[in-house]
Structure 1
């Protein structure tokens, strides 16, 4: 009996420590923006709106969030559309070496990534005249996400029964109509997953925008957040808490919207 009680107490303490590990940063993010003396530690705030006004008055803070939205919307749209078309083609068309090609793309996207690809990417973008271009940077970001997005989405398309498509073709549906009205509605949880995943990946991308967007007024929030310093070179804790809170809102809103509309549930072996 005592052993059972001790195990329950230990399990409860373990859960409390884990929850505190994740809850403390969230509590800081919720309280520090409204604290007149924000710091690294967590304490009851001395409520004020001065930090919010200082962030709004910052010359680049709100503009960088707009830049982030432009990059993410374009990169997410390109990734989702192209990944859907490619996943459908790889799932339905019998191409010799199809599976080997898919795994090769995924492998190359995992190995040749990060700093290893920055030099050729920068040279290519310079030759194309796309330095300081939001749309050029978004296309590069989408290209980096496409292999993994295709690999993930193909499993969802594979789960769509071919009998649905055959029935639609019997009634005279074209290939485009089959894709729009049969495959996409059934595979929409997978498409929603790719949409959220690609948006989060693009939203937090620092290295590519840092290299390809040279003007400060064109840089996204992920880059600006690394440069928020005061005159002494230390972190500007007046602006950073509010900016961090604003920076986290779009991802949370997107996740809640997609989760409410489509859900991320499992029915049997098919994600729905």
Structure 2
């Protein structure tokens, strides 16, 4: 019952009001088009009265692509919510019971995972995987999206609590760094003045030419708009992804 109450609350989509900031988050963003990103998944990790929001993308009727930050083992309960964009009258909810499939390289865990659903989702469009022969280059524009905080604190300090905005937020950024190897995996980076992703956006799809080329992987900065957004480079993992989900 407690979990149900939390999910109902999250589904209300009430924006946070703040007296200390007028900035919007995703910072500098706008409402995503209602005909796009229908594959967006809201991931909720609940432990007692505390819930954490993340994002993911349905890339197969039984598989969600997201970051490792967006799943935690027991005692947390992990739930996937579909049809949250555009906001539907009835949101479809499914608890994730299977452990995630992790990508590892030389015993190093990368910040990208695949979550398997117990029951296939057949009434939600799937996210298109990338054409890795045409990857984003420096200067190209990519689109990020998420349901994180809609305000910041004093001096652009990131907020960690609040309610989900009434509409999925999108923001365009330019690629400033192509794929690089870091301790948590292969990333590229994007930025735009006075624009940023925030807590709650981890795992969200980064789109280029209508396809998913990246997954948002937030750094631990306490302040917004200070550095480019780190993005897991899906093309570096495309072989693993297709093998795992059975896509030839």
TM-score (norm 2): 0.20
Higher relative strand content:
2
TM-score (norm 1): 0.18
With a CA cutoff of 8 Å and minimum separation of 6, indicate the structure with the bigger relative contact order: 1
